[in-house]
């Protein structure tokens, strides 16, 4: 999850300042959308250029030229990151037989009504 969050941040940072897209003649491109909250009315918005993924090249360079040659410093950094416990640890687990009995008694009461 941490890696996905970091990749998302890198992608966002690289593409935050994209230029607006233009035609070959140099005119800005626009798109017409029909959002639900407009109840059939339209909105016009400028189109931006396609997103880039240049950060992937930098990550691959780092991975193949630094991490694979000597992974120890990177492993030490990873070991320092605290990983939270699973959410299920917060709950007390009931005895299985008690839970089944409670489940069955709930249904038995409903049948007699």
Around 41, how many Cα atoms within 13 Å sit in the side-chain half-sphere?
A: 4
Cα–Cα distance for residue pair 15/8, rounded to 1 Å = 11
Q: Is pTM, for the whole model, over 0.85?
A: no
User: Do 62 and 71 form a contact (C-beta atoms < 8 A)?
Assistant: no
The average pLDDT across 83-103 equals: 87
Q: What is the mean pLDDT of the chain?
A: 87
Sign, Cα dihedral of 84, 85, 88, 90: negative
pLDDT at 35: 92
Cα 2 to chain centroid distance, Å, stands at 10
User: Do 29 and 23 form a contact (C-beta atoms < 8 A)?
Assistant: yes
User: Do 48 and 21 form a contact (C-beta atoms < 8 A)?
Assistant: yes
Sign, Cα dihedral of 18, 19, 22, 28: positive
% pLDDT > 90, the chain: 46
For residue 44, the surrounding DSSP H or E stretch is: strand 43-46
Binning pLDDT at 50, 70 and 90, where does residue 19 land? very high
């Amino acid at each position: 999850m941490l890696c996905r969050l970091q990749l998302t941040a890198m992608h966002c940072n690289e593409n935050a300042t994209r230029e607006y897209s233009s035609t070959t003649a140099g005119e800005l491109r626009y798109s017409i959308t029909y959002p639900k909250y407009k109840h059939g009315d339209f909105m016009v918005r400028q189109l931006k250029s396609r997103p880039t993924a240049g950060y992937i090249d930098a990550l691959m360079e780092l991975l193949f030229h630094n991490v694979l040659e000597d992974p120890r410093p990177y492993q030490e950094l990873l070991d320092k990151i605290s990983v939270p416990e699973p959410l299920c640890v917060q709950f007390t687990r009931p005895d299985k037989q008690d839970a089944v009995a409670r489940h069955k008694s709930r249904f038995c009461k409903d049948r007699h009504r």
